A and B are shown apart, each in its own frame.
Chain A
Amino acid sequence: GNSVTQMEGPVTLSEEAFLTINCTYTATGYPSLFWYVQYPGEGLQLLLKATKADDKGSNKGFEATYRKETTSFHLEKGSVQVSDSAVYFCALSDGSNTGKLIFGQGTTLQVKP
């Protein structure tokens, strides 16, 4: 079945450090891929998305590239801020006619000043 695997957290970085959170997926067909973020005390928000192979999603300085050959969608940011501290979820939509999302287990990011 379809699944998403994220790197274990928590990830602790100093401000301005480079961030990578790994995400790999298993899916039949051609899924769309997403990163959602959950800031403390808030609901899940879409951070970025990519709907086909080689697409790059980007938002708020974060980027992720849909790599079909490695079934990956790693999240990167060149210089993190304290305000980026949150839980990040990688997800896929399997292309069925429902749009339901399959999530990874989440990675907690803590950025220290």
Chain B
Amino acid sequence: GAGVSQTPSNKVTEKGKYVELRCDPISGHTALYWYRQSLGQGPEFLIYFQGTGAADDSGLPNDRFFAVRPEGSVSTLKIQRTERGDSAVYLCASSPQRDSYEQYFGPGTRLTVT
């Protein structure tokens, strides 16, 4: 079956611009996670959705970052006024439920801010 997909696979933007990153989770998965992975580091948690609501957004670095999941399926991560330090790979993962212990990761979106 189809796995988690993320679009675009690569995004280059100028400092100060707005970007949207999209995640299509596995069908039927209620839990959805966003992580950010900087070069040479492990993924860092950003935000968790259970259904449509953001149940934990404690990992968002500041108020320039925002994410939505309006229908409980596709999610969009939005970054305003991008900075060079936002350059990273943004990973999305979904899970059948929050305590299923296995998260299925997408291939990521590589964001480069010039």
Contacts and interface: CB of A to CB of B under 8 A. Distances in A.
Contacts of B62: none
A43 B41 contact: no
Interface of A: 4, 32, 34, 36, 42-46, 49, 51, 89, 91, 93, 96-106
A46 B43 contact: no
B48 A99 contact: yes
Is chain B's interface secondary structure helix, strand, loop, or mixed overall? Answer: loop
B31 interface: yes
A34 B95 CA distance: 15
Given A97-B98, A99-B48, A100-B56, A89 B107 contact: no
B42 A105 contact: yes
B105 A43 contact: yes
A50 B65 CA distance: 33
